[in-house]
Amino acid sequence: MKLKKRRIFVVLAALALAVTWLVVNPASYEEIFTLVEDTGAEDGVSDEDILVPGGVNDSVDNDVKSGRLAVDVLEELEVKGRAPKKGYERSQFYEDWPLIDGCSLRQRIIRRELGDSAILNGCNVVAGEYDEPYTGEHMVFTEKSQISAKIQIDHVVALSDAWQKGAQYLSAEVRYEIATDPLNLLAVDGEANQNKSDGDAATWLPPNKKFRCQYVARQVSVKFKYGLWVTQAEKEAILRILENCPNEAAIGV
User: Whose CA is closest to 128, among 143, 150, 109, 108?
Assistant: 143
Residue 133: per-residue pLDDT: 98
From CA 17, how far away is CA 55, in angstroms rounded?
Answer: 41
Does 222 reside within a domain? yes
State how many domains the chain has. Answer: 1
Predicted TM-score (pTM) of the model is 0.77
From CA 163, how far away is CA 160, in angstroms rounded?
Answer: 5
From CA 201, how far away is CA 204, in angstroms rounded?
Answer: 5
Strand partners, 154: 186
Q: Provide the b/e sequence for 198-217 (b: ≥16 CB within 10 Å).
A: bebbbebbbebeebbbbbbb
Does 33 reside within a domain? no
Does 221 reside within a domain? yes
Does 104 reside within a domain? yes
Does 131 reside within a domain? yes
Quick check: helix, strand or coil at residue 250? strand
Residue 130: per-residue pLDDT: 98
* 10-residue stretch averages of pLDDT, the chain, 253 residues long: 44 45 37 28 34 40 79 98 97 97 97 97 98 98 98 98 98 98 98 98 98 98 98 98 97 90
From CA 110, how far away is CA 128, in angstroms rounded?
Answer: 10
pLDDT digits (tens, 9 = 90+) for 136-176: 999 999 999 999 999 999 999 999 999 999 999 999 999 99
Residue 59: per-residue pLDDT: 57
From CA 244, how far away is CA 213, in angstroms rounded?
Answer: 8
3-state secondary structure 192-221: HHHHHCCCCCCCCCCCCHHHHHHHHHHHHH
Query: Residue 11 to residues 8, 16, 18: CA-CA distances in angstroms?
Result: 5, 9, 11
Residue 62: per-residue pLDDT: 56
Residue 61: per-residue pLDDT: 67
Does 46 reside within a domain? no
Give the helix ranges, DSSP H, for the chain.
2-24, 70-75, 105-114, 144-150, 159-164, 172-180, 190-196, 212-225, 232-242
From CA 158, how far away is CA 202, in angstroms rounded?
Answer: 13
Cβ 59 vs Cβ 105: under 8 Å: no
pLDDT digits (tens, 9 = 90+) for 209-238: 999 999 999 999 999 999 999 999 999 999
Task: For the chain, state the CA radius of gyration.
Answer: 25
User: Whose CA is closest to 152, among 118, 201, 122, 195?
Assistant: 195
Percent of residues, the chain, with pLDDT higher than 90? 73
DSSP letter for 38, please: T
Domain encompassing residue 126:
54-251
From CA 198, how far away is CA 72, in angstroms rounded?
Answer: 25
Query: Residue 55 to residues 33, 38, 130: CA-CA distances in angstroms?
Result: 16, 19, 18
Does 5 reside within a domain? no
Does 177 reside within a domain? yes
